[in-house]
Amino acid sequence: MKKAVSVMVLVAVAALTIFCFGSIASAGEEVKMVGVITKIEIAGKDAKTATATLKDNKTEQLVVITVEDDLTLDKFKDHRIVEGDEIRCKYEVIDGKNVSKLFRKTAGC
Amino acid sequence: MSKKSVTAAVLGLALAATTALAAGVHPGKESIEKSGYKGPETCEECHPGSAKGFLDTVHWKHASKVTNVEGLNPKEEYGMKNRIYVMCNGNDIVNNLKEIPKSPVTGKSKFSGCNTCHPGNHLSDVGSTGAAAEAAVDCLVCHSTDYDFRQRKPFKNEKGEVVMGQDRSAKAALAIGKPTVKNCMVCHEAAGGGVIVKRGFTFTKDTDAHAAKGMVCVDCHKAKNHKMPTGHDPNNWANDGLFVSCSDTSCHGVKPHKDADLNRHCAKIACQTCHIPRTGGAFAKDFTVWEQTPDKFYEPTTLKKEANETTPVYAWYNGTVKNTPHFIGPKGSKKDGKSKITPFKIFQGKAYYNKQTGELLSMDFAQPMSDGDTRAGVLSAAKTLGLKNPEKIAKEAVPGWQTIYFGSNHLVTKTKALYCANCHAPNGVLNFKDLGYSDKEILKLTSPELFMEKLAQKQKEDW
């Protein structure tokens, strides 16, 4: 029954983050922004972390985002994401760093 | 399949099996190191015919004959090349890659076009044939693990023609292997106008049971001479005539479970129904009203959700598709003996219809993208397609909605698969009435009588 219950709870509670990202960040602390990348800094092919500086479209402020997820790091490495790209980003402030939770190119149809 | 490519396939398999990921040990490496990479001709030395063969696939033609969709001409080919629907209200023809008019606000232009997701160079475009087309195939976009995507961008050549760039460096050609997930996702991740727009398609260990086992796209989509097997998504028509399904004997067969109760359900319920309980991506778009984005260009108003955030809709599906200007979706019924209850994402899109004929019209995005003028986009598309009285059509065009059912075939889970009470409780995920069950049947199908004993036993075991 344990399984059936957990399945039911999941189904009932529906759109939960556990399902999407496996991240347990509480939604409240997340900051959302759209901005253009002005700089990407990554230390080589095996780097496990990188920073990207985004210019916030609304405030024109520069925001430094720390990126740790493999998929986005890979896109920095093979240049699928480059300076000048516009990004939709969600980040969370952890130990003074803006750690990216979502980092996606905006794109039209 | 030629004898050569059979041995090739066998050898390739053996390679893949013995070395974790064959990347780096490609037998052609030495030769490429010596003479560099000149495009497909380099590969053809050892893999003759592969470029020519590629030209006869959906990935090159963006079209094929389609037999399971109503209202189509069986002699014509259909696909992204020429279809008109409301996930992307155009096609490769009306939205051919070009520079859009300058934004009246910023004075800037940009390249836009559907055929950027094509492994040609645009001079040899979707469906082109002949020697130039063969030489233009971008083998490395699917086969290299060291591709520099800064090269894969549109630009204008000396003659002013728009060219789609490719990475043809020896460096990229030295990293040849069987396509990785990333290779396929170059185009599949952002289909429909951005990441996770079309179908909430992520393929990571967190979102898919097969990815968690280290499987890649081509472990299931095993291509033969570059013809890729697909399924029967009501929204995605073009196919290479090869099909893949979970119950193929080489995969799981029709009795995959130890539990006979689950196996019995497979006759009426698609595997996806229990094993893909969520879907995602865009659920509504409006092509008649475009929103200005921060860069001052415009894009169609789009409502979207994350990969796993949407509850699917369940319908009987027999693999054939209803196709009208306002509806594209599954055909089937409880009674036809062929249909199974299948999960779908419902997507609804608003676009312009021809006032005279009631047909859905298409749109060239160049003008709307620049200044939001959507009727100008309809006019341009009507001209490109040679419709009579394009001005009149565009002026009188009537906004309306089309509903599309999207197949839901990835994001597979074992641990969160639907179990007895997910369906047979009164608040279960299936709407038995809509699915055609009688009140009497429903009473029975929503009674704990069906699962009480089993779940009680399981509860005992689990604790």
Q: What ipTM, to 2 d.p.?
A: 0.77
N- to C-terminal Cα separation, chain A: 45
What does each C-alpha distance from A82 to B108, B231, B424 come to in angstroms? Answer: 19, 35, 50
Find the CATH number of the domain harbouring A62. Answer: 2.40.50.140
Q: Which of B416, B458, B462 sits opposite A10 (nearest CB)?
A: B416
User: Is residue B152 a contact partner of residue A83, using CB atoms and an 8 Å limit?
Assistant: no
Using CA coordinates, name the residue in chain B closest to A10: B416
- Number of domains, chain A: 1
pLDDT attached to residue A24: 42
- Distance of residue B280 Cα from the nearest chain A Cα, in angstroms: 10
Measured distance CA(B23)–CA(B21) in Å, rounded: 5
Residue B390 CA, chain-centre distance (Å), reads: 31
CB pairs under 8 A between A and B: 106
CB contact under 8 A, A4 and B300: no
CB contact under 8 A, B146 and A21: no
Sign of CA dihedral B203, B145, A45, A67: negative
The conformation of residue B388, written as its DSSP 8-state character, comes to: S
Question: For the whole model, what pTM was predicted?
Answer: 0.92
- Distance of residue B56 Cα from the nearest chain A Cα, in angstroms: 27
CB contact under 8 A, A2 and B462: yes
CB contact under 8 A, B195 and A104: yes
Is A35 part of any domain? yes
When pLDDT is cut at 50, 70 and 90, the band that residue A108 belongs to is low
Is A14 part of any domain? no
- Distance of residue A70 Cα from the nearest chain B Cα, in angstroms: 10
pLDDT tens string, chain B, 463 residues long: the values are 444 454 444 444 444 434 434 445 899 999 999 999 999 999 999 999 999 999 999 999 999 999 999 999 999 999 999 999 999 999 999 999 999 999 999 999 999 999 999 999 999 999 999 999 999 999 999 999 999 999 999 999 999 999 999 999 999 999 999 999 999 999 999 888 888 888 878 899 999 999 999 999 999 999 999 999 999 999 999 999 999 999 999 999 999 999 999 999 999 999 999 999 999 899 999 999 999 988 899 999 999 888 888 899 999 999 999 999 999 999 999 999 999 999 999 999 999 999 999 999 999 999 999 999 999 999 999 999 999 999 999 999 999 999 999 999 999 999 999 999 999 999 999 999 999 999 999 999 999 999 999 999 999 998 8
What does each C-alpha distance from A51 to A37, A39, A43, A76, B132 come to in angstroms? Answer: 10, 8, 10, 10, 42
Measured distance CA(B96)–CA(B116) in Å, rounded: 9
Residue with tokens 């001079």: B123
Is A17 part of any domain? no
Query: Is B313 buried (19+), middle (13-18) or exposed (0-12) by CB count in 10 A?
Result: middle
- What is the average pLDDT across A40-63? 91
| In chain B, domain spans | 35-418, 419-463
CB contact under 8 A, A108 and B463: no
CB contact under 8 A, B365 and A57: no
Q: Which of A1, A82, A86 sits opposite B150 (nearest CB)?
A: A82
- Distance of residue A4 Cα from the nearest chain B Cα, in angstroms: 7
pLDDT attached to residue B239: 98
- Distance of residue B344 Cα from the nearest chain A Cα, in angstroms: 16
Helix A2-13 × helix B452-462 angle, to 10°: 110
Which pLDDT tens digit goes with each residue over A65-104?
A: 999 999 999 999 999 999 999 999 999 999 999 999 999 9
pLDDT attached to residue B463: 82
CB contact under 8 A, B456 and A104: no
Check pLDDT > 80 for residue A5. no
CB contact under 8 A, B190 and A107: yes
Measured distance CA(B166)–CA(B40) in Å, rounded: 12
Which structural domain range is residue A51 located in?
Answer: 27-105
CB contact under 8 A, A8 and B295: no
CB contact under 8 A, B422 and A15: no
Q: Which residues of B touch A57 (CB under 8 A)?
A: 294
Going by DSSP bridges, is the β-strand pair A86-94/B298-310 parallel, antiparallel, or unpaired? unpaired
Q: Which residues of B touch A4 (CB under 8 A)?
A: 419-422, 455, 458-459
Using CA coordinates, name the residue in chain A closest to B308: A20
Q: Which residues of B touch A15 (CB under 8 A)?
A: 305-306, 308-310
Chain A residues whose C-beta is within 8 A of a chain B C-beta are: 1-4, 7-8, 10-12, 14-15, 19-22, 34, 36, 57-58, 71, 74, 78-80, 82, 86, 104-109
User: Is residue B225 a contact partner of residue B60, using CB atoms and an 8 Å limit?
Assistant: no
**Structure-block tokens of residue B279:** 């879907």
pLDDT attached to residue B20: 37
- Amino acid code (one letter) for B442: I
- Of A11-20, A49-58, B289-298, the poorest mean pLDDT is in A11-20
CB contact under 8 A, B195 and A19: no
What does each C-alpha distance from B111 to B22, B105, B162 come to in angstroms? Answer: 36, 17, 9
CB contact under 8 A, A7 and B416: yes
User: Is residue A62 a contact partner of residue A55, using CB atoms and an 8 Å limit?
Assistant: yes
CB contact under 8 A, A2 and B365: no
Of B387, B366, B388, residue with least CA distance to B377: B366
CB contact under 8 A, B300 and A109: yes
Is A6 part of any domain? no
Give me the DSSP letters along chain A: -HHHHHHHHHHHH-S-HHHHT-----GGGEEEEEEEEEEEEE-STT-S-EEEEEEETTT--EEEEEE--HHHHHHHHTTSS-TT-EEEEEEEEETTEEEEEEEEE----
Q: Which residues of A touch B195 (CB under 8 A)?
A: 104-105, 107
Residue B257 CA, chain-centre distance (Å), reads: 29
Q: Which residues of B touch A7 (CB under 8 A)?
A: 416-419, 421-422
pLDDT attached to residue B201: 84
pLDDT attached to residue B11: 45
- The helix/strand/coil state of B364 is coil
Query: What average pLDDT is seen over chain A?
Result: 79
